[in-house]
Structure 1
Amino acid sequence: MSRYERWNALLELLAEQGRLEVEEAAEALQVSAATIRRDLDQLARQQMVTRTRGGAVAHHVSYDLPLRYKTARHADAKQRIAAAVAGLVSPGEVVGLNGGTTTTEVARALAVRTDLTERPESGAGQGLTVVTNALNIANELTVRPQVKIVVTGGVARPQSYELIGPLAGLLLGELTLDVTVLGVDALDVVHGATAHHEGEAGVNRLLADRARRVVVAADSSKLGQRAFARICGVEAIETLVTDAGAGEDVTRAFTEAGLQVITV
């Protein structure tokens, strides 16, 4: 287990329990107590936990892990999902991407599809246009001159690198998108696509509203769950791309709700 995987596991344990003892964490992660103490000290310096004598207590943001700590979670599944999502995009389309580890993988998968990114023979226009409120996605794709990047504007949220707030809506109201790919915190047949943070949900909703079709890219751990703020109902979603870990009952429920479900 790498350092970042341990940090992620510690934050998840704290989110579930609120308080964690060093010996308890060492047993759960099968590492030494000294390693756990160093990890908790590092997380405390980054203001992710509050250190206590013999352990740590959850910081107020620990339920919502910053993007850099989420990258190790379900990494293989997210890469397979991303490749499948990229395969749904046609040359010349305008793609909306919100923030998150899965949509970051989608951006990378799109960027390496030469049929999407090469310029037309006429030399006019762009092979691929991406509209995003995610600073990390914009940063990665900006170095690729064959991809046109449009950033929404707004106030940066450090936990997810997403731009939120009314400024994002001012731009999105002037654009039309072919497809929006949404990463979500949870997806449920009844409650739809949801996010932990209401500001992110608001901008994500606008990205969905401005698109002709909406694709949700979500690993199986997100399915059948719900989070605090609603993005959109399942009726607004055309396609769900998830991993093979999703149970048959779960995927059947989405299919019966009218979604095309692709498992990878």
Structure 2
Amino acid sequence: MDRYARWNALLELLAESGRVTVEDAADKLDVSQATIRRDFDQLAQQQMITRTRGGAVANGVSYDLPLRYKSAKHSAEKQRIGEAAANLVVPGTVVGLNGGTTMTEVARALAVRPDLNTSGEGAQLTVVTNALNIANELLVRSRMKIVVAGGVVRPQSFELVGPLGGALLKEVTLDIVLLGVDALDVELGAAAHHEGEAAMNSLMVARAKRVVVIADSSKLGGHAFARICPISKVETLVTDSGAPAELLEGFRDAGVQVVCA
């Protein structure tokens, strides 16, 4: 296990329990206690955790981890979700994409679809995004037209937030927005951990003819700090087959089309 994989695992342990000792972490990750101490020290220097005598405790930021530290948990599910979401996109349309690990898989799936990358009038796909990593994924892999909303970059997600990007989004029309969320609930709607990201995502929803929420089963039925939109705005949910049947039935009852990848 390399350093970043260990950091992912340690941050997940802290997110679950709030506190972990060096000895317990070493046992669970099957590495030396000296290695765990170094990892804790380095994570504390980045203000990801708070170091304690014999261990560490979670900071609030541990629930909104920087994208580069988020683990590959549910990676297979996210790849399937990404492919299923990409299949909803029609050539020649304008697509909105936000950021996140699942949305990265959506971007990769879009980039390899031959019918979205052919030349000719009306064939090219236009992508509007507020995430730098999503723009980069598409830029290096495809011939799509990429429009990036302005704003201030959040290191946690590589998303651009603030009034600069909002000004652009208010002037465009999206045929479809593929929206990654931190939580989706029938009563509470779609939500994000950060209010700036939620505001940008809400603008995308307002400018879109169709709203598709992309969320693995771990995001369903939960809640996050800032609301993006009510469930009535969501046309389709793309999730994985591990989602509980009762949750999916609740979304269907609310008028949401459910696609399980």
Q: Same fold (TM over 0.5)?
A: yes
Unaligned 5+ segments in structure 2 are none
Q: Aligned equivalents of 2:33 and 2:252: distance in 1? A: 47
1:126/1:147 contact within 8 Å kept = no
Q: Aligned equivalents of 1:61 and 1:73: distance in 2? A: 18
2:237/2:257 contact within 8 Å kept = yes
Partner SS state of residue 62, structure 1? helix
**Deviations 1:14-49 (CA, angstroms, capped at 9, x unpaired):** 234333210122233344323322322332343322
**Deviations 1:144-165 (CA, angstroms, capped at 9, x unpaired):** 4611110110111111111111
Matched with 1:168 is 165
Change in 2 beyond 3 A, CA 1:17/1:203: same
Equivalences for residues 210-229 of structure 1 within 5 A: 210-229=207-226
Change in 2 beyond 3 A, CA 1:56/1:209: same
Residue 136 (structure 1) aligned with residue 130 (structure 2): no
Partner SS state of residue 181, structure 1? strand
Partner SS state of residue 179, structure 1? strand
Moved runs in structure 1, 4+ residues, more than 6 A? none
Residue 207 (structure 1) aligned with residue 204 (structure 2): yes
Partner SS state of residue 143, structure 1? helix
Partner SS state of residue 168, structure 2? helix
Q: Aligned equivalents of 1:205 and 1:51: distance in 2? A: 37
Letter in structure 2 aligned against 1:53: R
Q: Aligned equivalents of 2:52 and 2:66: distance in 1? A: 22
1:126/1:148 contact within 8 Å kept = no
TM-score, length-scaled by structure 2: 0.94
Q: Aligned equivalents of 1:30 and 1:145: distance in 2? A: 41
How far apart are 1:167 and its partner, in Å? 1.2
**Deviations 1:71-120 (CA, angstroms, capped at 9, x unpaired):** 51211100000000000101101110011011111011001001011121
Matched with 1:26 is 26
TM-score, length-scaled by structure 1: 0.93
Unaligned 5+ segments in structure 1 are none
Number of matched residues? Answer: 261
Identical-residue share of aligned pairs (%): 69
Q: Aligned equivalents of 1:137 and 1:221: distance in 2? A: 22
1:244 to 238, 241, 244: 241
**Deviations 1:218-237 (CA, angstroms, capped at 9, x unpaired):** 00000010111100111101
Q: Aligned equivalents of 1:30 and 1:191: distance in 2? A: 40
1:258 to 249, 255, 258: 255
Q: Aligned equivalents of 2:18 and 2:38: distance in 1? A: 19
Q: Aligned equivalents of 2:218 and 2:174: distance in 1? A: 28
How far apart are 1:180 and its partner, in Å? 0.3
Q: Aligned equivalents of 1:144 and 1:20: distance in 2? A: 41
Partner SS state of residue 252, structure 1? helix
1:94/1:178 contact within 8 Å kept = yes
Residue 50 (structure 1) aligned with residue 50 (structure 2): yes
Q: Aligned equivalents of 2:142 and 2:64: distance in 1? A: 33
Letter in structure 1 aligned against 2:89: V
Matched with 1:180 is 177
Letter in structure 1 aligned against 2:200: V
